[in-house]
Amino acid sequence: MKNIIFLGALSIALLLTACSDFLTESSQDEVRPSTTTDLEELLLGEGYASRTPIFPYLELLTDNVESNYSDATGQETMLLGGGPVFTWAEDMFEQLQKNNVPWYNSWQNLYHWINGCNVVIDQLPLVTGSEQAKERIKAEALSLRSFYYFMLVNAYAPPYNTENTEANAAPGVPLVLKSTVKDEFPKRSSVAEVYEQIIKDLLEARNLFAKNGPITHNVYTVSPLFVDMLLARVYLYEGKWDEVIKYSSSVIERKPTLLKLRQFYSYDDWQGIVMYDISKGGVYNSGSPELIWGYSVNGEYSAYFMGVNFYIDPGKLPAFTVSKELENKYASNDIRREAYYNAYLVMNGFFPEKHLLVGRKSDNVIQNPTKGMRVAEAYLNRAEVYARKYLLTKDEEMRRLALNDLNTLREARFTDPYVKLDIMDGEELLKACLDERRLEFSFEDHRWFDLRRLGMPALQHTFSIVKGQVQTVRLEKNSSKYVLPIPREVRERNPELDK
């Protein structure tokens, strides 16, 4: 029976041929990697997202973004590009494709990288090299594959249901665990099955990393810290609180340092200007002490967010900006307002007024990623769980621990002197933890996923692409649109996805 590769139009021959500079030819028609070094290079080239964005449009779905009608230079292109996502259109991906918006087919990209990981895992028994090298490569490939499936199942399937586990029998995404499949089309596994596979692979990767001792890695390659951080994230979504504490604590014990933003923040009293040195103070800069792993590239939001030239188009607004609701949540002494965003100016009387345009958490140089994993997540995951435990048990120690993690994070984000939070009410404490997640992780793809796992609340967006014609679009509570549509071009190639 003919074997095919689950990469859409790509085949394994093409995948291996793409790396033919280090592959040996085993027959006239195929090439194969021959050493563990070959597989390392193959994984780097075909298994890592590296500088490719995964979900550059995801923030547009959330309450972190608002839209303005704008006829300023270039803004109509932004409205056309972002409008389908911002209004939760069922054919959003077809419209993005029609408008030539880059990186719109996340499904295809994620399965491409998954197949790259699968090829590497399948080829490991066939190449030369030490057993230690093979196990380390397998740990990397399993870790990456887990991350990609986590992103897929949280975009294209219902959220994991922590209260009614029977609901997790709902269709998830296809679990493709080999680089070749038979002639039949891959069927969707359940949400529960996808989560089970993610955990299984991560625990195996964790054991393989531990078995083979310390490794040398950089912020673009996965590591034991990556595995524990992802385990903490997955268990948070599953509502398995003790596991969240275990793996978040494991990350913090080995990498406790947070970047203290005040070191790079200054205020000019004479001119009344706030300055932040992103070249040294980006939390996603490659040298950031809190960065665990990174991917993507500055400019991934350029199809949706663009500033207005203050002199050419005075008084006009950008098509999409950070929502005023989010902007106003930042306290006046919260440095993240300066450190985490690009801004735009509007006139307020005779004086320019600065507002937040779009997220930006690293300096725009080639070696810096823009998304991934940071130690801040371990602190806030753990704080949320401690707050939930306090709410259930009224155990004072849980309250103290939640506040300790929350204040540790906030102290690194505020100007001096920082006044610690001291919250007695359990509901207020949990809300403070969740609010902090929103402030800390905006434009890192957390907000849409958090909205899903926290009950899929009703949202409302106002949108206008024609002056005077304003459209108010509402996403109802528990709407089916909290599950992204699979692109039509993907569904046409695999009819099983509609079942």
**DSSP string for 113-171:** HHHHHHHHHHHGGGSBS-HHHHHHHHHHHHHHHHHHHHHHHHHHSPPP-SS-GGGGGSE
Q: What is the pLDDT of residues 205-233, one digit of tens each?
A: 999 999 998 777 788 999 999 999 999 99
pLDDT at 83 over 60: yes
Query: CB under 8 Å to 417, separation ≥6 — which residues?
Result: none
pLDDT at 122 over 70: yes
Which is higher by pLDDT, 14 or 147? 147
Q: Could you give phi then psi for residue 272, rounded to 5 degrees?
A: 70, 35
Which is higher by pLDDT, 19 or 103? 103
The pLDDT of residue 215 is 78
Residue carrying the six token digits 């529960």: 192
The pLDDT of residue 217 is 79
The pLDDT of residue 22 is 30
Q: What is the pLDDT of residues 347-373, one digit of tens each?
A: 777 778 899 999 999 999 999 999 999
Q: What is the pLDDT of residues 69-78, one digit of tens each?
A: 999 999 999 9
Q: Work out the average pLDDT over 34-48.
A: 96
Q: Give buried/exposed letters for 300-322 (b at 16+ CB in 10 A, else e).
A: bbebbbbbbeeeebeebbbbbbb
pLDDT at 282 over 60: yes
Q: Work out the average pLDDT over 389-398.
A: 98
Rounded Cα distance, 104 and 57, in Å:
8
Rounded Cα distance, 125 and 452, in Å:
40
Rounded Cα distance, 187 and 32, in Å:
29
The pLDDT of residue 46 is 97
Q: Work out the average pLDDT over 160-175.
A: 94
Percent with pLDDT over 70 in the chain: 93
The pLDDT of residue 184 is 83
Q: Could you give phi then psi for residue 114, rounded to 5 degrees?
A: -60, -45
Q: Which of 143-152, 155-164, 349-358, 399-408 has the lowest mean pLDDT?
A: 349-358
pLDDT at 154 over 80: yes
Q: Could you give phi then psi for residue 352, rounded to 5 degrees?
A: -75, 145
The pLDDT of residue 351 is 78
Identity (one letter) of the amino acid at 73?
A: T
pLDDT at 14 over 60: no
Q: What is the pLDDT of residues 298-319, one digit of tens each?
A: 999 999 999 998 788 888 999 9
Half-sphere exposure in the Cβ direction for 24 (13 Å, CA): 9
Q: How confident is the model at residue 2 (pLDDT cuts 50, 70, 90)?
A: very low
Rounded Cα distance, 10 and 12, in Å:
7
Q: How confident is the model at residue 13 (pLDDT cuts 50, 70, 90)?
A: very low
Q: What is the mean pLDDT of the chain?
A: 92
The pLDDT of residue 346 is 85
Q: How confident is the model at residue 36 (pLDDT cuts 50, 70, 90)?
A: very high
Q: Is 172 helix (H, G, I), strand (E, B) or coil?
A: strand
The pLDDT of residue 10 is 34
Whether residue 247 contacts residue 231, with contact meaning beta carbons closer than 8 Å, is answered with yes
Q: Work out the average pLDDT over 402-423.
A: 97
Q: Which of 178-187, 374-383, 413-422, 428-437 has the lowest mean pLDDT?
A: 178-187
Rounded Cα distance, 63 and 50, in Å:
28
pLDDT at 64 over 70: yes
Q: How confident is the model at residue 499 (pLDDT cuts 50, 70, 90)?
A: confident
The pLDDT of residue 245 is 98
Handedness of CA 137, 139, 143, 148 (dihedral sign): positive
Q: How confident is the model at residue 12 (pLDDT cuts 50, 70, 90)?
A: very low
Q: What is the pLDDT of residues 238-278, one digit of tens each?
A: 999 999 999 999 999 999 999 999 999 998 776 667 899 99
The pLDDT of residue 29 is 40
Q: Give buried/exposed letters for 440-474 (b at 16+ CB in 10 A, else e).
A: bbbbbbbbbbbbbbeebeebebebbbeeeeeeeee
Percent with pLDDT over 90 in the chain: 84
The pLDDT of residue 216 is 79
The pLDDT of residue 205 is 98
Query: CB under 8 Å to 319, separation ≥6 — which residues?
Result: 67, 68, 70, 75, 76, 78, 79, 82, 304, 305, 306
Q: Work out the average pLDDT over 318-326.
A: 98
